Amino acid sequence: MMGSSFIIMLLFLINGIVRGAGNAAIAMKSLWIANIANIILCPILINGLGPIPAMGLTGAAVATTIGRGLGVCYQVYHMFNGRHILKFKIAQFLPDWDQISVIVKIASPAVLQFVIASCSWIFLAQLVAVTGGDEGSAGYQTALRLMMFFLLPAWGLSNAAATLAGQNLGAGQPDRAQESVIKTAKYNSIYMAAVMLISFTLAGPLAAFFSNDAEVREIAVTAIRVLATGYIFYGIGMVMINAFNGAGDTWTPTKINFVGFWLFQIPLAYLLAKHFKMGPLGVFMAVPIAETAITIAGIVLFKRGKWKKVVV
């Protein structure tokens, strides 16, 4: 998987390029190709088929890499066939150091956003493992897998907010940029409200799909329902964060993430799990509470409108 880091970097990079150009269909189709190929190849390479030997866990990694590689090939084909808004030429790949410096300046805070969030999730996973044991950790990971699955469409909508905000600001239409973000947040919250209802009502069957262990299922059900209480705020918050990024104001969401995750979520989770002896439940509760606070901060800063004045 580490050896294929360049491929996954290209997959996300090119998808960001085509989404920014307003052609999100290519990004979607490239991920279809990558994931369908992965789904088909995984059982073949893991278990073996005919002359293909069984590769076990390594086969899953190889299947994932091949699938992503096919997705990148699809992207590259559309980048160079000249039939889209963006028309690439080999000569354009020569380094432009002035442009590179601008990109690094904008991207560096965005990288920090992911580092901050990822480190927070790692700490929470460790805290659940310490206070809840193997069963608590397995139940928590089950709930996270389901949450990430349900969040994928919401991430797609929030990426649209980034594209719309950037394009409208570039066109000198700040009011239209704001309106597009508000509409996207509205649709995202409606979707996440539906997901929240599904999570509350079907938490048991969803947890049973991942584990036969009764204790793991019980913890997973609790985690699913607790995490679901913040789904509407997750949906709105990710739109706000991506709108800032799309406008080129990458420092604002970085600061929000730093305060929300490291200075609030982690201490709160530790306090609830350890000091108040709530164990994994305390960690579960810290997630929607922190996400709600992050969303409120994002809304307040969005309404102030400084993101409209950022010069890229």
Same domain, 79 and 154: no
For range 242-263, the mean pLDDT? 93
Mark whether 196 and 277 lie in a shared domain: yes
41, 76, 94 - which closes a domain: 94
Same domain for 218 and 151, yes or no, is yes
Residues 137 and 244 in one domain: yes
Q: Is the confidence at residue 80, as pLDDT, over 90?
A: no
- Closest Cα partner for 166 from 174, 158, 156? 174
- Of 276 and 24, more confident: 276
What was the pLDDT predicted at 79? Answer: 82
Residue 56: give the domain boundaries: 1-94
Statement: residue 274 has pLDDT above 80: yes
Judgement on whether residues 179 and 221 belong to the same structural domain of the protein: yes
Q: Residue 218, Cα to own-chain centre: how many angstroms?
A: 26
Assess whether pLDDT exceeds 90 at residue 126: yes
Same domain, 304 and 169: yes
**Is the confidence at residue 18, as pLDDT, over 80?**
yes
Determine the average pLDDT of the residues in 279-289. Answer: 96
In this prediction, residue 39 has a pLDDT band, given cuts at 50, 70 and 90, of very high
Mean pLDDT of 25-36: 92
Q: How many helices (H) and strands (E) does the chain have?
A: 11, 0
- Residue that is last in its domain, among 71, 94, 117: 94
Number of other CB atoms surrounding residue 23 within 10 Å: 16
Given a cut of 80, is residue 159 above it in pLDDT? Answer: yes
How large is the average pLDDT for residues 15-39? 88
Same domain, 141 and 79: no
64 lies in the same domain as 180 = no
CA 33, 35, 36, 38 torsion: positive or negative? positive
pLDDT at 238 over 90: yes
The 3-state DSSP class for residue 130 equals: helix
Q: How confident is the model at residue 225 (pLDDT cuts 50, 70, 90)?
A: very high
Q: What is the dihedral of CA 57, 129, 124, 270, to 10 degrees?
A: -170
Sequential DSSP letters for 210-276: H---HHHHHHHHHHHHHHHTTHHHHHHHHHHHHHHHHTT--HHHHHHHIIIIIIIIHHHHHIIIIIS
Q: Which amino acid is at 179?
A: E
Specify whether 210 is located in the same domain as 272: yes
Question: What's the predicted TM-score (pTM) here?
Answer: 0.79
Q: What pLDDT does residue 304 have?
A: 92
> 10 and 120 share a domain?
no
CA distance 235 to 227: 13
Mark whether 162 and 285 lie in a shared domain.
Answer: yes
Same domain, 131 and 265: yes
Confidence label for 189 from pLDDT (cuts 50, 70 and 90) = very high
**Mean pLDDT of the residues in the chain:** 91
User: What is the domain count for the chain?
Assistant: 2
Q: Domain end: 64, 94, 124, which one?
A: 94
